[in-house]
Amino acid sequence: MAGLATLYAGRVAHVRHSPLRHRFNYRIWMLAVALDDIDTLAARSRWFAHNRFALLAIHDRDHGFRDSRPLRAFVEDALARNHLAEYSARILFVTLPRVLGYAFNPISFYYCYNAAQKLGAVVHQVKNTFGDQVAYVMAVQDSANIRQPAPKRMHVSPFFDMQGGYRFALNAPAEKLNVSIQYGTAAEKRMTATMCLRARPWSDGALLRLLTEMPLTPLKIISAIHWQAVKLFLKGARFHRAPAQQHELVIAGESE
């Protein structure tokens, strides 16, 4: 089972810069596994499953097309529509799986490599607490220093309107997995989210130890989001209702 997957553990921090200052952070962990290795990992693990209930599970219907079609088909389609089809040889999926059947995952990543193992694209799959999802598909120019801007196309927080866009900064998964997301407009920096994680080799024992350290993480995340929303409301943050609009399932990123 060694080498089939990696566990990443660390902290996420959110800082709201305007119109009022607010900061919070919490511990988190994620699983990194190549899409083509998910079934092999499930067959060899006592605690992990694919598309069925287990202590830990990845269900295709939670991601991608969200209709139980395979995740590889979703990523291949997204890459092809953005002229990045060569980078579907190996797709490393980084996500927070279901824990005891419960799933909530604000962001997942698909790191996409060509046959020569060159990282050429990242698909950022973003979810909100209203059940919506959007995927930003962005080419990688420099795998050592990934910088990717993208327009905001989905209502995420009720305390922000739909203006502005994102700037993603991240590294290819290795011993560390770091992600920074800046959100704002040309005139105003609104929010910074950072995720700093360290790798742990996968094993059933390592998984159980991690779940002991951070139990029921998806439930903790959704609870923390709503608790921070209460705090923002009490601070006087303006509430924005979700706009009545449609968006594409996959959004192309922008050039630097």
Give CA–CA dist 191/17, Å, rounded.
6
Structure confidence by residue, pLDDT tens digits, 23-38: 999 999 999 999 999 9
The single-letter code of the amino acid at 108 is S
H or E segment to which residue 223 belongs: helix 217-235
pTM of the model: 0.94
Q: Given this model, what pLDDT does residue 1 score? A: 45
Q: What is the mean pLDDT of each run of 10 residues along the chain (256 residues)?
A: 85 92 94 98 97 97 94 97 96 97 95 97 94 93 88 88 92 95 92 97 96 93 88 84 78 73
115-129: string of b/e by CB count within 10 Å (b at 16+)?
Answer: eeeebbbbbbbbbbe
* Sheet with 107-113, side-by-side order of all strands: 146-151, 165-170, 176-184, 189-201, 5-16, 22-34, 90-95, 107-113, 119-127, 133-139, 250-252
Residue 256 is predicted with a pLDDT of 58
Domain ranges across the chain: 7-237+244-252
> 102 near 216, Cβ under 8 Å?
yes
The DSSP result for 232-248, as a single string, is: HHHHTPPP-PPPS----
